[in-house]
Structure 1
Amino acid sequence: MPYALVMGASGDIGQAVCEKLAEQGWSLYCHYNQQKEKVLNFVSDLQKRYPQQDFFMVSLDMLKEAEIPSFLAQLFQVDGIVFASGFTFYELLPETKADQMEALWQVHLKTPLLLLQELQGKLAKNSNGRVVFIGSVYGHRGSSMETVYSAVKGAQEAFVKAYAKEVATLGITVNVVAPGAVQTRMNDNWDLQELVDLKSAIPLGRLAKPSEIAAACSYLFSQEASYTTGIILPVAGGWMT
C-alpha cells in the first residue's frame, strides 16, 4: 500500500488532493499547522470511508526549522509528497517587509527542500516515488502586487526541472501543477467586481474548482504518469498560459 505526505492538507486544494489520492488507494499523512479540528474531522471521515487504508495527522509549522526532525520522526513509509502549503501577500514590492519575504521563501521553497533532503531515501525505496508541487501560473507569468510570491513560485518551477533530472534514475518523478485562479479561501478577499473582471479574462469564464487541481495531481501520482517528470502542468482555464 503506498503512502503519501500531503503538506497543507488543511487548505482547500490540499484537502481536495487528499480526497483524490484516498480514492486511488493511497494511505495519507495529512499535514496541518493551525486547523487541527478541521483536519481531525476530515481524517476521521477518510478512515470511515476507506477502512483498509491508514490516515494520520502530522503537525509542523513550516516557518520553524527546529521542528523538522520531530516531524520527520513521525513518517515511516513515504512514496509520494504533495507540497500544497502556501499563502501570499498583496502588496507592492516597496511595501513588502523583509519578514514577509522570508516567510514566503521558507514555506514555498526552503522547508520543502529540507524535507526532500531527508525523505529522498524513502521516496526511492520502491523506485516509484512521486513529488508534486502545487505552484501557480504566476511562477512563469508573474503578477504585480505579488512579486515575491511570483518569485518563489518561479523558483519552485526551476527547482523541479533540476531535481527531476537528479532523481530520475531513482525512479522518482518530480512535477509542478500550476493553477490559475481557484475558488479557495485564499481568494476570498476579492470583491464582486474584481471577480467579474477576473472571470472575463479567463477563456473558460470561471474559476477552477479545487477538485480540478487535485485531479491533475492525482494523474501525476498514477502509474500511467511514470514517464512524466520535470514538467509544469498549468490548470488555468486557458488563462495566462
Structure 2
Amino acid sequence: MKYALITGASGGIGSSTALLLAEEGWNLYLHYHSNEGAMKDLIHKVEALGVEAIPIQGNLANPEEVGDLVHCIFRLDAIICCSGNSAWGLFQDHSEDDLDQMINLHVKSPLILVQKLLPKLIDRKGAIVMVSSIWGQIGAACEVVYSTVKGAQLAFVKSLSKELALSGVRVNAVAPGAVDTSMMDAFTDEDKESIREEIPMGRFAQPGEIADSIHFLLSSRASYITGQTLSVNGGWHT
C-alpha cells in the first residue's frame, strides 16, 4: 500500500494528480492552504475511489508551518510539490516581502519539507517530483521572481538526485508551459489568445496532462530516470 504527499492538492494540477493516483490505489496526504471547499470536494472524490485521503492545512509561505505538516505524515512513498503562485510585474516593483513570500513558498519550505521527510522516503525507496515551470528553464520578463524560484527548484532536483541515487530515491521535475488552471485567470482573453499563438500545438495544457507526466515519473516505467526535467509545453520550448 503506497502513500503520497501532494502539496497544493486543491489546485488544478494537484487535484488532477490526486485523482489519478487514487485511481491507481495510492493513499494520499492532501495539503492545501486556504481553499477548504475545493479540498472537501477532492476528499469526497478520492475516498469514492476506495483509498484514504488525509487533508493537511498549512501556509507554505511561512516555513515555520512545515513542521506541523511533517508531524501529520507517517508512511510515505512519494512527494509531489505542486504548491505555488505567480508574481507578475516589473522586478523593480516587487517589495522585499514579495521576494520573501515567493522564496519561502517555492524554495525554502519545499526544501525543509523534503529534508525532514527524507528518512521515510529512503526507507521506502520512494520518489520526489517537483512541479516547476517553463519559466524556470528559460526565464520570462515580468515574471523574474517566479522564473528565479522555479529555476531554483530545477537546480535542487539535479543536485539532490545525485545525492540520493544510491539510496534508491529518484528526484525529478515536471516543467509545464501554459496550463488551463486558475493561474491563467490573471490574463485577459486577448493575452491568452496571444499566448496560444506562440505555442506550436495551439492550445494550453489540461491539468490532467501534467498529472499524467507526474504519474509516469513516479511509476516503475521511470525506474532509471532521475535528476531530469520533463518539459510538458506543447512545443513552446524545446
Same fold (TM over 0.5): yes
TM-score, with normalisation over the residues of structure 1? Answer: 0.96
Indicate which of 204, 214, 234 corresponds to 2:201.
Answer: 204
Q: Which residue of 1 aligns with 2:220?
A: 223
Shift of 1:68: 2.2
Aligned partners of 2:62 and 2:105 also within 8 Å: no
Once residues 70 and 138 of structure 1 are traced to their aligned partners in structure 2, the CA distance between those partners, rounded to angstroms, is 31
- What is the CA deviation profile of residues 124-154 of structure 1, one whole-angstrom value per residue up to 9, with x for unaligned ones? 1122x11000000101110000001101111
Once residues 70 and 147 of structure 1 are traced to their aligned partners in structure 2, the CA distance between those partners, rounded to angstroms, is 31
Structure 1 segments of 4+ aligned residues over 4 angstroms from their partners: none
Q: Which residue of 2 aligns with 1:134?
A: 131
Structure 1 position 187 matched with structure 2 position 172: no
Residue type at the aligned position of 2:32 = Y
Once residues 229 and 29 of structure 1 are traced to their aligned partners in structure 2, the CA distance between those partners, rounded to angstroms, is 23
Residue type at the aligned position of 2:178 = A
Once residues 145 and 180 of structure 2 are traced to their aligned partners in structure 1, the CA distance between those partners, rounded to angstroms, is 22
Indicate which of 226, 234, 237 corresponds to 2:234.
Answer: 237
Shift of 1:41: 1.9
State the aligned residue count. Answer: 238
Once residues 195 and 37 of structure 2 are traced to their aligned partners in structure 1, the CA distance between those partners, rounded to angstroms, is 33
Q: Which residue of 1 aligns with 2:168?
A: 171
Question: Residue 186 of structure 2: SS of its match in structure 1?
Answer: coil
Q: Which residue of 2 aligns with 1:14?
A: 14
Indicate which of 134, 138, 143 corresponds to 2:140.
Answer: 143
Shift of 1:211: 0.4
Residue type at the aligned position of 1:42 = L
- What is the CA deviation profile of residues 186-205 of structure 1, one whole-angstrom value per residue up to 9, with x for unaligned ones? 11121122111111110000
Once residues 191 and 95 of structure 1 are traced to their aligned partners in structure 2, the CA distance between those partners, rounded to angstroms, is 21
Shift of 1:23: 1.6
1:111-126 aligned within 5 A: 111-126=109-124
Residue type at the aligned position of 2:174 = V
Task: Give RMSD over aligned pairs.
Answer: 0.9
- What is the CA deviation profile of residues 152-197 of structure 1, one whole-angstrom value per residue up to 9, with x for unaligned ones? 1111111100000001111111011000000110111211221111
Once residues 29 and 207 of structure 1 are traced to their aligned partners in structure 2, the CA distance between those partners, rounded to angstroms, is 28
Once residues 176 and 199 of structure 1 are traced to their aligned partners in structure 2, the CA distance between those partners, rounded to angstroms, is 24
Q: Percent identity?
A: 38
Question: Residue 125 of structure 1: SS of its match in structure 2?
Answer: helix
Residue type at the aligned position of 2:133 = S
Unaligned runs of 5+ in 1: none
Q: Which residue of 2 aligns with 1:39?
A: 39
Residue type at the aligned position of 1:90 = W
